[in-house]
Structure 1
């Protein structure tokens, strides 16, 4: 059945690939991004998030069937913005659009995490995110190095939030399937800077090792296939799962965790 699906970060990368895959399958896609989307909004700010909700509601007053929080940024974007978009923007997208999801007979929600969530992260920053202390979290991020662990911290916090929220009364208890996808190395505008140099490629191979021969990264469309699956009732018994689409990275890092 045709679904109405909101996709943030829809103008590029995995968000664009996901939007295109869903549209090709006949679904109505409401894209959200800073530009070149049906809804133009800045998810780094509370005002931008509220503007996103108002615009989506105007476009889909009868509700939406799926919400996919793809929008994310990484260094060299300033650390506070990384945290504001990746954690607070993603969580706000899902929570603020939840009332529209409740109007669907088969609601689904998906958040894009990252294998970076498994790497070194700052516990104080993650705690501030989970406490929903945005001002405090951004202040902590302000004092961190540009290429520090704010990205890993923001994605770790999002993963923890998702796991707990998915089985809560507000989500699973209300019939909304909330799951996540954790990509590993994916060639997008956000990561192409790393693949452009030998040093960058060596760094990516270290932080996102891949077990598949001859593979160095995924194409956004490969990740979009899994995201699109979770955005439909096809996975109607999946709740609170984070699916690693990473060429084996997560299994390499922690083979004993099941």
Structure 2
């Protein structure tokens, strides 16, 4: 399996779950040292873990990650794309460069990776693609313009990939986390004046009463890449403690 963006957060939690289950996992991340640490910490589990540097925001980075995963493990049963960029800026200050940087990593890279991985996934007895979206695809954010747009695009991309790859037996889903407590959210806390003043109000809006942790999402991803998910495709699976329902 290939985990893009597995050096921290939800990606690292997903690597931990899959390696604990005995899966062979290749981690592609711009944080090569962090990815290597994640893999090394799980070396006692069955199967193999490998990691390599990859700048997924470049035009050839996603395909290189696929090449690296196949070279390391000889096959590819699943692609999980967890890498992402969050820019939080006032409307008047949001730049075209920030927009382009966000789209390159959050939307273009997943497409290029799946495109490159498609032949190997088709050859697998249960090929899987799991993209990491966000509840930002379904609600507004006062400073996350490119992020929200990219995640909305990712949900639409999931549907198109599911239609294109379904005849080859590949299931494509998108997991959409709500508020998961990781440093990824730091740009938001900074924009709203600090975590201490905003966290209580945020968590009061969540029916389960708290932010999630990375493993809450990783547990869902583990199911989505499993044979048991064979008839689930083209769907956005929300993991948000009930926030969108409120």
TM-score past 0.5 threshold: yes
Q: Please point out which of 146, 160, 167 is paired with 2:163.
A: 167
| TM-aligned CA deviation for residue 158 of structure 1 | 0.6
In structure 2, the residue matched to 1:108 is: 128
User: How far is the alpha carbon of 1:100 from its aligned partner?
Assistant: 1.3
Aligned partner of residue 245 in structure 2, secondary structure: helix
1:197 matched residue in structure 2? 195
Whole-Å separation in 2 of the counterparts to 1:8 and 1:50 = 11
| Residue aligned with 1:244, SS | strand
Aligned-partner Cα distance in 2 for 1:193–1:179:
27
Unaligned runs of 5+ in 2: 36-50, 90-97
- C-alpha distance after superposition, 1:163-190 (max 9, x if no partner): 122122xx11110011111000001121
Contact 1:229 1:235 in 2 (8 A): yes
Contact 1:193–1:200 under 8 Å retained in 2: no
How far off its partner does 1:205 sit?
A: 5.0
- Checking the alignment, whether the CA contact within 8 Å between 1:194 and 1:204 is kept in structure 2 is no
With normalisation by structure 2, the TM-score equals 0.81
Q: Structure 1: any 5+ residue segments left out of the alignment?
A: 122-144, 253-258
Instruction: Give the one of 230, 235, 241 matched to 1:241.
Output: 235
1:220 aligns with 2:214: yes
Which residue number in structure 2 is paired with residue 24 of structure 1? 20
Asked if the contact 2:121–2:170 (Cα under 8 Å) also holds between the matched residues in 1, the reply is yes
1:113-140 Cα distance to aligned partner (Å, 9 max, x none):
100001248xxxxxxxxxxxxxxxxxxx
- Tell me the number of residue pairs that the alignment of Structure 1 and Structure 2 aligns: 217
Gap change, CA 1:204 and 1:79, over 3 Å in 2:
farther
Match of 1:136 in 2: none
> CA RMSD for the aligned pairs?
2.2
Q: 1:92 to 1:199 in 2, by over 3 A?
A: farther
Q: Deviations over 1:179-218 (max 9, x none)?
A: 1110000011211454652344267459xx3111xx3210
* Aligned position for 1:80: 100
Secondary structure of residue in 2 paired with 1:31: strand
Give 1:67's aligned residue. 79
